[in-house]
């Protein structure tokens, strides 16, 4: 966490509660909305994170995640979908070209 945080100008920490599936964790968010999530091992980890990183620490259940993080996730989702669509289109065009070549060969044979 320290290495990640040291490469950023401004960070905030958002503590996520323990659930049945996940232990208590912290999400560090920088000024661009980039983030990392790490387990903190319980309530004592909250103070440790704040002291270690020297950043504000918030309870995500009270504050929610910052808008910049949500916007970044949405941008990344859109870019992923666009790339997936490009790949599907490329595969479709390749199948179409192969089918046209096959039909051309069949027409020549007749």
pLDDT at 92 over 70: yes
pLDDT class for 30, splitting at 50, 70, 90? very high
Write down the pTM of the prediction. Answer: 0.77
Q: Domain locations in the chain? A: 1-65, 66-110
- The pLDDT value recorded for residue 73 is 96
- Strand 35-39 and strand 57-59: the pairing is unpaired
Handedness of CA 20, 23, 29, 34 (dihedral sign): negative
Q: What end-to-end distance do the CA atoms of the chain give, in Å?
A: 69
> For the chain, where are the alpha helices, taking DSSP H only?
2-6, 44-53, 60-63, 67-109
- The pLDDT value recorded for residue 38 is 94
């Amino acid at each position: 966490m320290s290495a990640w945080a040291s490469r950023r100008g401004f960070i905030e920490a958002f503590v996520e509660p323990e659930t049945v599936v996940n232990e208590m964790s912290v999400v560090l968010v920088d000024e661009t909305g980039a983030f990392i999530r790490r387990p903190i091992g319980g309530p004592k980890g909250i103070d440790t994170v704040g002291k270690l990183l020297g950043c504000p620490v918030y309870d995500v259940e009270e504050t929610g995640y910052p808008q910049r993080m949500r916007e970044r996730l949405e941008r990344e989702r859109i870019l992923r979908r666009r790339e997936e669509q490009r790949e599907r289109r490329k595969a479709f065009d390749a199948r179409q070209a192969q089918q046209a070549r096959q039909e051309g060969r069949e027409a020549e044979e007749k």
